[in-house]
Structure 1
Amino acid sequence: MSTSAGAQAPAVTQGAGTPRSVAGRCGSANWVCVAQCIDVSCVERCLAQGCEQALSTLARCAETSGCGAEDSACVARACDTQCERSFEPAPPSPEKENPDPCEDGSVGSGRVPKKMVGQWSLEAASVRPEEKSKVVADEDVKDVKPRADFERALVVTPKGCFLLRTRLESATLGKGNALEVRSWGSLVVDEKKDTVELRTTSGQAVGTVCGKPRVIGLSKGRFQRPLYQYELEGDTLGLTARTKSKQTFQFRRQPLEKAE
């Protein structure tokens, strides 16, 4: 996965929208874009549109701060001003965190195949042709494993609600910063055609940025409805984008005790 499926932003999500932010800062438009990604390369593409330079400057501040490698509090103090410049201002959010939007049964398509219900973690993704030269020198390499600081989970409920969760850690957002970007909606499955459509209705980005707790609402974002061909075999779920790229994603079912 990782640097593999990078072109998902324009390909799989079919133009999740060009993120626009305030003065080159990271903002809600970027998180809406991230919320529709399945792989980290797509996430990087979303962040590159508006906040890549700001995050690079923030990283340099941390490197030259003189703080210890694990001293996030020191970095937060030393780079507070630069951190605020890197992200759109976010006053105390009027929104409350919605940790489980599928819980009350108000979101869903009705039903999904029983074997699709559960929590899945991204295991690998195919490399798009135009990305291959940036990722690997060996032309025979087709898949890339997720990198350590990126986690992607797909939760599917019996009533057809889905929740996509992307955890972005300090390696991406700068030391001391972390967000879980979530999107949710109805999972529409056509068992005759073996297709699944993600009809996203809303989302949130929740975590700590610049030492402050954030709940960034994404409900006003422009969400797409990507369509995939699916294949279920045991504990493996494969999704192939119904686009020219035919990009594929492989998920592994997580045991109940590991599901959050």
Structure 2
Amino acid sequence: MLTSSAGAQAPGGSGAQGGARTLAGRCGSANWVCVAQCIDVSCVDRCLAEGCEKALGALAQCAAKSGCGPDDSDCVSRVCGKQCGRTFEPAPPSPEKEIPDPCADASVGAGTVPKKMVGRWSLEAASIRPEEKARIAGQENADAKPRPDYARSLVVTPGGCFLMRMKLEDATLGRGNALEIRSWGAFQVNEKDDVVELRTKSGQAVGPVCGKPRVIGLSKGKFQPTTYTYEVAGDTLVLTAKTPSKQTFQFRRQTEDQQAE
């Protein structure tokens, strides 16, 4: 049974964050390394709860009390600038440039993949992990709805490279803030067993934070390889985690119009 991006994929907890730098009580690179390994929204919530959830709440309260108009991000940035600085890690000039197409580097890929898996896919549903079922039992609406700013896409290239993208906007990060979390690596397919392994090599978090453009490198994070069984039927790609939870993720092939957005 699939629900709309409801379950929580375990990215490996604090261990998945490895030695990524962060400051207690602030949102930083360790959080984004954790998020980069998520597929669905509940997993993202867990990553943000690792040290920065309260800080984001305080930033949202500042914006609510600022007296700024609902669409006046410049006003919020001005009034809540200090609070924003306390919410996120210090923002020096970004030490690295944005990599818009990491799969252009042929060394990232794992070799030829089945043609039916090549393309751009968007997440449309995820199964609920057993521990999540207990949490939502008895709720009036058992299908957890994705946040309004949440979107997850997967690009698979003929050379066996994957690029995962997730956009977190002001509904999550506070008004005027936005980050696209990107991770990429080798998309290694075993057609005989219908198994694919995603071996993340690096990533970036890119976007405006506290009024400044940021490119936050995630290459120092320790990414854990993830293995799934797969099934492709027409324009649907289903990945099932080879873990005790057997969590399932359903992707839909993007149309040309969606790719152009």
* Cα pair 2:162 2:185 within 8 Å, conserved: yes
* Cα pair 1:124 1:250 within 8 Å, conserved: yes
Cα deviations by residue, 1:183-212 (Å, 9 ceiling, x for unpaired): 000000001100110011110000000000
* Distance of 2:259 and 2:187 partners within structure 1: 19
Pairwise CA RMSD of aligned residues? 2.1
Q: Does 1:6 align with 2:5?
A: no
Determine the structure 1 residue equivalent to 2:246: 246
* Distance of 1:4 and 1:162 partners within structure 2: 23
Unpaired runs of at least 5, structure 1: none
* Distance of 1:144 and 1:64 partners within structure 2: 29
* Cα pair 1:20 1:49 within 8 Å, conserved: no
Percent identity between the two aligned chains: 67
* Cα pair 1:7 1:131 within 8 Å, conserved: no
* Cα pair 1:228 1:241 within 8 Å, conserved: yes
* Distance of 1:106 and 1:259 partners within structure 2: 25
More helix by share: 2
* Distance of 2:139 and 2:26 partners within structure 1: 36
SS at match of 2:166: strand
- How far is 1:2 from its partner? 6.1
* Cα pair 1:165 1:182 within 8 Å, conserved: yes
Cα deviations by residue, 1:131-182 (Å, 9 ceiling, x for unpaired): 12434536996x6554421000000000000000010010000010000000
- How far is 1:69 from its partner? 1.4
* Distance of 1:20 and 1:91 partners within structure 2: 14
Moved more, 151-160 or 14-23: 14-23
Could you tell me the TM-score, scaled by structure 1's length? 0.92
Determine the structure 1 residue equivalent to 2:22: 21
* Distance of 2:139 and 2:83 partners within structure 1: 40
Unpaired runs of at least 5, structure 2: none
Q: How does 1:63-82 map to 2 (within 5 A)?
A: 63-82=64-83
Determine the structure 2 residue equivalent to 1:198: 198
SS at match of 2:164: strand
The one-letter amino acid of 2:48's match is L
* Distance of 1:147 and 1:133 partners within structure 2: 21
Structure 1 stretches of at least 4 aligned residues deviating more than 3 Å after TM superposition: 17-20, 133-136, 138-141, 143-147
SS at match of 1:26: coil
* Distance of 1:112 and 1:100 partners within structure 2: 19
Rate the CA distance shift 1:2–1:56 in 2: closer, same or farther, 3 A.
Answer: farther
* Cα pair 1:124 1:146 within 8 Å, conserved: no
* Cα pair 2:17 2:31 within 8 Å, conserved: no
* Cα pair 1:125 1:145 within 8 Å, conserved: no
The one-letter amino acid of 2:8's match is G
Moved more, 155-164 or 70-79: 70-79
Rate the CA distance shift 1:98–1:162 in 2: closer, same or farther, 3 A.
Answer: same
Q: How many residues align?
A: 257
Determine the structure 1 residue equivalent to 2:229: 229
The one-letter amino acid of 1:100's match is D
SS at match of 2:229: strand
Q: Does 1:50 align with 2:40?
A: no
* Distance of 1:225 and 1:135 partners within structure 2: 29
- How far is 1:6 from its partner? 1.9
- How far is 1:259 from its partner? 1.6
* Distance of 1:2 and 1:76 partners within structure 2: 33
Moved more, 125-134 or 14-23: 14-23
